Amino acid sequence: MTKLFNPAWSIERRRNLRGSMTIPERILWKELRNGTLGIKFRRQFGIGSFIVDFCSPMHRIVIEVDGDSHFTREGLVYDAERTAYLIGLDFRILRFTNNDVMRNLDGVLLQIAASCPPPFQGGDRGGRSAKP
């Protein structure tokens, strides 16, 4: 069975991406990692054959900070493929531009907080109520 999260093939690539984060990614990571939102995020997180900028697996949220390369024809096609795959795994994808992070960090953080449902706490996933 293939490992879905952080597969072994991506270890070196994820490490390199963490070392070469853009300034907007670094700014957002500083806020996410210090617990400002009370939500645990991971950076450069592998999901299947993709590596996302930030992820809260518990909340099924992916955050992408998009620079200029995301707005090329190739970037748009790649992002659409990745988005479809992640949605198929029940992840919600939040996309922000570099400018969003640099000019409206508080608004970005508010939108992230508002998009995070409470984490799954266990119990029956089948929709039946638990026995008293």
Write the pLDDT tens digit of every residue in 28-68.
999 999 877 889 999 999 999 999 999 999 889 999 998 86
Please tell me the pTM assigned to this model: 0.81
Give the whole-number percent of the chain exceeding pLDDT 70. Answer: 83
Is the pLDDT reported for residue 122 higher than 80?
no
Average pLDDT over residues 60-79: 84
Longest dimension (CA), the chain: 56
**All structural domains of the chain with their residue ranges:** 8-113
Which has the higher per-residue pLDDT, 36 or 100?
A: 100
Q: How much is the pLDDT for 34?
A: 81
Return the CATH superfamily for domain 8-113: VSR Endonuclease (3.40.960.10)
> pLDDT band at 121, cuts 50/70/90?
low
**Alpha carbon of 28 to those of 12, 73, 115: distances in Å?**
22, 26, 16
132 pLDDT higher than 80: no
pLDDT at 80: 93
Average pLDDT of span 109-118: 86
